[in-house]
Structure 1
Amino acid sequence: MKGLDIGSDRVDELAATSAILLYSRQDCSTVYGTVHPVAQGKGGRATIGAGRPIERRALFECLRELAQNAAPKAEFLPETVLAVSQDAVMWWCRPATRRVFFDCQEIGRRSAVVLHPGLVFRAASNGFSVFALQEDSRPTPDSKLHEPPYFNTWDEGRICIGSAYVPKRIDVESIDGWESGFFESAFTHPNHGNKRVSHSNGEFAFWKKMLDGEYGEQFPKDALVTMNMTLGELIAGK
């Protein structure tokens, strides 16, 4: 394993030097820990040595160093980025026209450039999700989120990725890849759960009209279904 030596151009070899063993009760609550030296043997094999109780000060220092080295590097954030954490990136897409693809029995194999409302995307370690907005401008923490008016989505905005290609990384640089993975895959079916679009004849009729360009030059926002969640609550994980 190789890693960059912070503050220099030299690349250092990283090797295991110590191991921490945690002892827990049956309810998984940790009550004790030991630290063990690691000896490197022939052929890259490592041996864990005898342990000693972890010293409180040494443990805190170790955690501090790990947190410092694991912290993301500073980077420029475009105005579309709404929030960044250790395991998630959230961003906003302006209302725009984009191509969509359908491949289902009720609509057939169709593709067209259609209107889209403002959208909020969230790529995280626990999944990929999308939400719709009534606003045309950058949302605020008080902005109400709406159901994504798309097929292949579950409740709470979760996206069914299926065979779509999405980046392995979750960071600001990967935003375009996450968006492409969503829009360039075919919408195949409405998932079970809450209603995604408000239309008297259902979601298939709604998307047929969208594909035929019957809504004019603006996305029909009256078709959006309000969720009981604000952007601020989504960011806070409530």
Structure 2
Amino acid sequence: MKNLTNNFSSSYQPVKALLIYNKQTEEAEHNSIYVESYDIGKFGNPINAHPLTVKETLALSGIFQTAQELKTGFLRCKGLMPNKVLYVNPEKGGYAVWYTPPREVPLFFSGSLGIKSGRGKVPAMIWRADRESLAIYAMKCNRKPMEKTILYHAPFFNIYCDGKVCMGNVRIDIGQETRLEDFMEQWEKYFWNSYFSHLMNDHNPVTENIVQIWKTQISSDRAFPCQVLKPTRYTLKNLFV
């Protein structure tokens, strides 16, 4: 810390200084701004005073644009938009909606349920998440959903009737500049690596005994029986709010 000034001076050299003038008028909205630019001489003194040029303005704009991009990096893609993304809203805290096809995943169950943890096949799913909360739903179709696609209750424990997931004591840590691909990957890991323990408010999301369903899924290689899914009152479009 004692050498901070010397280290900074040896790495960064001043090259430009700006002086902003504000001409006051009776009506505040008509105030005019004049920007004067100075080059910095070899002895650190301002020289060559002149009005800010177009070239200097563009260079300054580029610096501010880079800063703004860093500030708004949350939910921006690293590259091409992933095919599973359905909707992204980075404003007002930001959230994303995406889907995953039927697949086999690791499933962890609390000992009180009497279900052995293991791998099992799950239906196609819709995910909606912001930095702090997650809601999930199931689909009967295996293709990319449309706005009018009917959503079904996700056939798992620890999920409320409205689709919101109780994450228990899972520590959610998603940064303000997390890119979209990492955001989705983190939420899916949080969900699949947590333990299912109980039904929320006695909400059974399927038409049959949910414990027996998962005992069967873990001990077999069959696709998830989508006929047991219960419809919600939502379509995909309802999640874009």
* Cα offsets for 1:156-175 (capped at 9, x unmatched): 11011112243423641221
The aligned counterpart of 1:192 is 201
What secondary structure sits across from 1:156 in the alignment? coil
The aligned counterpart of 1:203 is 210
Question: Which consecutive segments of 4 or more residues in structure 1 shift more than 6 A?
Answer: 55-58
Report the Cα distance in structure 1 between the residues aligned to 2:30 and 2:155, rounded to whole angstroms: 53
Matched, 1:114 2:123: no
The aligned counterpart of 2:232 is 227
Counterpart AA for 2:172: V
What secondary structure sits across from 1:180 in the alignment? helix
Q: CA deviation at 1:125?
A: 4.6
Structure of higher RCO (CA pairs closer than 8 Å, 6+ residues apart): 2
Counterpart AA for 1:95: P
* Aligned partners of 1:81 and 1:91 also within 8 Å: yes
Report the Cα distance in structure 2 between the residues aligned to 1:228 and 1:57, rounded to whole angstroms: 53
Q: CA deviation at 1:193?
A: 5.1
State the identity as a percent.
21
Match of 2:219 among 212, 222, 229: 212
The aligned counterpart of 1:137 is 143
TM-score, length of structure 1 as denominator length: 0.64
What secondary structure sits across from 1:177 in the alignment? helix
Tell me whether 203-212 or 161-170 shows the greater mean CA deviation. Answer: 161-170
* Aligned partners of 1:155 and 1:193 also within 8 Å: no
The aligned counterpart of 2:89 is 85
Report the Cα distance in structure 2 between the residues aligned to 1:133 and 1:229, rounded to whole angstroms: 11
* Cα offsets for 1:9-38 (capped at 9, x unmatched): x9xxxxxxxxxxxxxxxxxxxxxxxxxxxx
Q: CA deviation at 1:195?
A: 2.8
Question: How do residues 90-105 of structure 1 correspond to structure 2 at under 5 angstroms?
Answer: 90-105=97-112
* Aligned partners of 1:144 and 1:230 also within 8 Å: yes
Counterpart AA for 2:98: W
Match of 2:153 among 129, 147, 152: 147
Report the Cα distance in structure 1 between the residues aligned to 2:72 and 2:202, rounded to whole angstroms: 38
Counterpart AA for 1:187: F
Q: CA deviation at 1:194?
A: 3.6
What secondary structure sits across from 1:157 in the alignment? coil
Report the Cα distance in structure 1 between the residues aligned to 2:190 and 2:237, rounded to whole angstroms: 25
More strand by share: 1
More helix by share: 2
* Aligned partners of 2:87 and 2:96 also within 8 Å: yes
Counterpart AA for 2:214: W
Q: Which has the larger radius of gyration?
A: 2
What secondary structure sits across from 2:105 in the alignment? strand
Report the Cα distance in structure 2 between the residues aligned to 1:219 and 1:204, rounded to whole angstroms: 14
Report the Cα distance in structure 2 between the residues aligned to 1:175 and 1:165, rounded to whole angstroms: 16
- Structure 1 205/150 Cα, relative in aligned 2: closer, same or farther at 3 Å? same
Report the Cα distance in structure 2 between the residues aligned to 1:72 and 1:164, rounded to whole angstroms: 25
The count of aligned residue pairs is: 171
Question: How do residues 25-36 of structure 1 correspond to structure 2 at under 5 angstroms?
Answer: none
Report the Cα distance in structure 2 between the residues aligned to 1:179 and 1:132, rounded to whole angstroms: 14
Q: CA deviation at 1:106?
A: 3.1
- Structure 1 167/82 Cα, relative in aligned 2: closer, same or farther at 3 Å? farther
Q: CA deviation at 1:78?
A: 0.3
The aligned counterpart of 1:45 is none
- Structure 1 113/57 Cα, relative in aligned 2: closer, same or farther at 3 Å? farther
Report the Cα distance in structure 2 between the residues aligned to 1:107 and 1:140, rounded to whole angstroms: 38
- Give the root-mean-square deviation of aligned CA atoms: 2.7
Report the Cα distance in structure 1 between the residues aligned to 2:191 and 2:123, rounded to whole angstroms: 15
